[in-house]
C-alpha cells in the first residue's frame, strides 16, 4: 500500500474513533444520574464538577457532539470513497465504500459505543469530559449560531405543556427505584406517602367529632381522672356545654400534678386549642403544630362547630403508617375470611381499600369506606344493607351512631368467556 493510501486509511480509522467518542459521550450525558454526579462533586471530585458544568450547558454540549459526529462521518465517507475508487474503479468503488463504511460506522461507531455508555453513563461522562470541553471551545462559534437559531425557532414555535415533573412521574421513579433494588417495599411505601403528604388535608385524617372524647369544663376531678383512665389519651379537649365549643386542652401530666397539689384553679392548667380549617393541608398543619409547640389541633366545620381533631401522631402516621402504643388494641383494617370474603373496617381509607382489592383508584368524594358506603346506599346505613360496586358485593355488618363500622365484601369472580 502506497503512503497516500495508508494515510487515507489511518485518517478513516481516526474518524471512526472520533465518531465512537461522540456517540458514547452523547449517550452518557443523556443518561447519567445527575444526583450521583452532584454527590461526587460535593465529595471533592473535580472531574464530576466539570461534568456538572458541561451538563448545565446541555444545548451547547449536544450541538457540539452532533456537529462533531456529522463532520467526522462526512470526512470518513469522502476519504473512503476516494480510496475505494483508486483500488476498485469508479463503478465498484462508491457502492463498496458506502456498504463497508456503513457497516463499520453503524456497528463500531454507533451501536456498540451507545450500548456500552448506557450501561455506565457516569463512568463514561467522567472519562469524556476533558476532551468534550476542548471540542466545545473549538466549536464555540457554531454553538453560538445554533443557540441563536434555537431562540428564533422558540419565538415562532411556542412550546406547549408544562415541563415540570408530574406526580405520576414521581411515582414511576419510585417504582423504578424499587425494581432496580435501590429501595425495598417499605422504602417505596414511605416515599409514596411523602409524595401524597402534600395533597392530604386535615379533613382526610381527622378523628371525626362523633369519636372525639372530651371533658366538660364543669367536670369533677374524679370524672376527669376516670375519663383519662378509660380513654388512655395523654391529652383531652375541654368543652363548654357541648363538644362543638372546645375551649381548651388539658394534658394528663398537668392534671395529675394539679390533683396532687390543688394550689391553683383547674382552668389554670388548660391551654388554648389550635383551630384549623378542614381544607388546611397536612403539611401546613404539621409546620403550624411545630411552630405553636402543640400536639393537638381542632378542625372547625363550616358552621363554627367541631368537625374533629388532628394530633401530631395522626400526621406522622400519614408518613410511616400506623403507630401502635403498648396499650393500643391493634386494628386490622382488611382481613381475609377465606374464599373470596373479606372483612373491612369502615374507618379505613377508601383508596387503601381499592389498592387491597387490586382496583383502579376511582375519583370519589368520600375519603373513608364509611362515607363511600353511605354515598352508595343514599341513606344512613343499617346492618344488612348491601350493594354491588364493580366486582365487589358489599354488606354492612356493624353500625354505630348512624354510620357503618364494619362490612363484609365478597369479590365476585370475573365472568369467563365462552369456549369455542
Residue 254 belongs to domain with CATH number? 3.10.580.10
Element (H, E) at 168: helix 167-179
Quick check: is 418 in a domain? no
pLDDT given at position 326:
52
- Chosen domain end from 101, 130, 156: 156
Quick check: is 247 in a domain? yes
Instruction: Note down the domain range covering 171.
Output: 167-197
- Chosen domain end from 197, 213, 247: 197
Residues 150 and 40 in one domain: yes
Q: Could you tell me how many residues make up the chain?
A: 420
pLDDT given at position 410:
92
- Give pairs for 127-131: CB < 8 Å, separation 24+: 128/21, 128/24, 128/25, 128/28, 129/47, 129/50, 129/51, 129/54, 130/47, 130/50, 131/21
252's grid cell: 394528663
Residues 34 and 75 in one domain: yes
Residues 262 and 398 in one domain: no
Residues 145 and 113 in one domain: yes
Quick check: is 326 in a domain? no
- Chosen domain end from 100, 133, 156: 156
pLDDT given at position 343:
93
Residue 349 belongs to domain with CATH number? 3.30.465.10
Residues 7 and 143 in one domain: yes
Quick check: is 162 in a domain? no
10-residue stretch averages of pLDDT, the chain, 420 residues long: 81 89 90 87 89 87 87 89 84 86 85 88 90 87 79 70 68 78 78 79 86 87 87 87 90 83 74 89 90 89 88 84 59 86 88 85 77 89 90 90 88 59
Number of domains in the chain: 4
Residues 50 and 145 in one domain: yes
pLDDT given at position 416:
45
Quick check: is 193 in a domain? yes
Residues 146 and 174 in one domain: no
Quick check: is 419 in a domain? no
Quick check: is 248 in a domain? yes
- Give pairs for 336-340: CB < 8 Å, separation 24+: 337/408, 340/410, 340/411, 340/412, 340/413
Residues 109 and 11 in one domain: yes
CA 382, chain centre distance (Å): 39
Q: Which residues of 49-80 are buried (b: 16+ CB within 10 A; e: fewer)?
A: bbbbebbeeeebbebbbebbbebbbebbbebb
User: In this structure, what are the phi and psi dihedrals at residue 182, rounded to the nearest 5 degrees?
Assistant: -70, -40
Residues 190 and 221 in one domain: no
Residues 379 and 297 in one domain: no
Enter the pTM of the model: 0.55
Quick check: is 328 in a domain? no
33's grid cell: 444520574
Residues 392 and 285 in one domain: no
Residues 137 and 42 in one domain: yes
Amino acid at each position: 500500500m502506497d503512503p497516500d493510501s495508508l494515510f487515507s486509511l489511518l485518517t478513516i480509522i481516526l474518524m471512526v474513533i472520533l465518531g465512537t467518542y461522540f456517540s458514547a459521550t452523547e449517550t452518557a450525558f443523556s443518561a447519567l444520574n445527575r444526583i450521583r454526579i452532584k454527590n461526587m462533586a460535593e465529595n471533592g471530585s473535580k472531574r464530576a464538577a466539570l461534568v456538572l458544568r458541561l451538563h448545565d450547558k446541555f444545548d451547547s454540549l449536544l450541538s457540539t457532539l452532533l456537529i462533531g459526529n456529522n463532520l467526522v462521518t462526512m470526512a470518513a465517507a469522502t476519504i473512503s470513497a476516494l480510496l475505494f475508487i483508486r483500488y476498485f474503479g469508479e463503478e465498484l468503488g462508491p457502492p463498496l465504500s458506502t456498504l463497508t463504511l456503513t457497516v463499520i460506522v453503524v456497528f463500531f461507531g454507533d451501536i456498540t459505543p451507545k450500548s456500552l455508555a448506557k450501561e455506565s453513563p457516569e463512568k463514561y461522562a467522567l472519562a469524556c469530559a476533558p476532551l468534550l470541553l476542548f471540542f466545545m471551545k473549538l466549536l464555540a462559534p457554531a454553538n453560538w449560531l445554533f443557540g441563536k437559531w434555537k431562540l428564533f425557532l422558540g419565538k415562532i414555535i411556542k412550546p406547549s405543556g408544562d415541563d415540570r415533573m408530574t406526580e405520576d412521574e414521581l411515582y414511576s421513579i419510585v417504582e423504578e427505584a424499587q425494581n432496580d433494588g435501590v429501595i425495598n417495599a417499605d422504602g417505596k411505601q414511605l416515599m409514596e406517602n411523602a409524595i401524597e403528604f402534600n395533597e392530604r388535608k386535615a379533613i382526610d385524617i381527622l378523628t371525626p367529632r362523633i369519636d372525639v372524647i372530651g371533658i366538660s369544663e364543669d367536670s369533677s376531678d374524679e370524672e376527669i381522672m376516670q375519663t383519662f383512665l378509660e380513654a388512655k389519651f395523654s391529652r383531652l379537649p375541654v368543652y363548654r356545654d357541648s363538644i362543638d365549643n372546645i375551649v381548651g386542652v388539658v394534658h394528663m401530666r398537668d392534671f395529675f400534678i394539679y390533683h396532687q397539689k390543688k394550689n391553683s384553679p383547674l382552668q389554670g392548667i388548660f391551654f388554648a386549642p389550635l383551630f384549623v380549617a378542614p381544607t388546611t393541608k397536612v403539611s401546613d398543619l404539621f409546620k403550624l403544630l411545630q411552630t405553636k409547640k402543640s400536639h393537638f389541633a381542632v378542625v372547625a366545620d363550616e358552621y363554627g362547630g367541631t368537625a374533629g381533631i388532628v394530633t401530631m401522631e395522626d400526621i406522622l402516621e400519614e408518613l410511616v403508617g400506623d403507630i401502635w402504643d403498648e396499650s393500643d388494641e391493634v386494628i386490622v383494617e382488611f382481613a381475609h375470611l377465606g374464599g373470596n370474603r373479606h372483612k373491612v373496617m369502615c374507618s379505613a381509607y377508601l383508596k387503601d381499600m381499592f389498592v387491597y382489592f387490586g382496583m383502579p383508584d376511582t375519583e370519589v368524594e368520600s375519603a373513608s369506606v364509611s362515607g363511600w358506603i353511605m354515598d352508595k346506599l343514599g341513606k344512613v346505613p343499617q346492618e344488612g344493607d348491601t350493594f354491588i360496586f364493580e366486582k365487589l358485593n358489599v354488606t354492612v355488618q356493624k353500625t354505630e351512631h348512624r354510620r357503618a363500622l364494619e362490612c363484609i365484601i365478597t369479590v365476585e369472580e370475573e365472568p369467563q368467556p365462552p369456549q369455542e
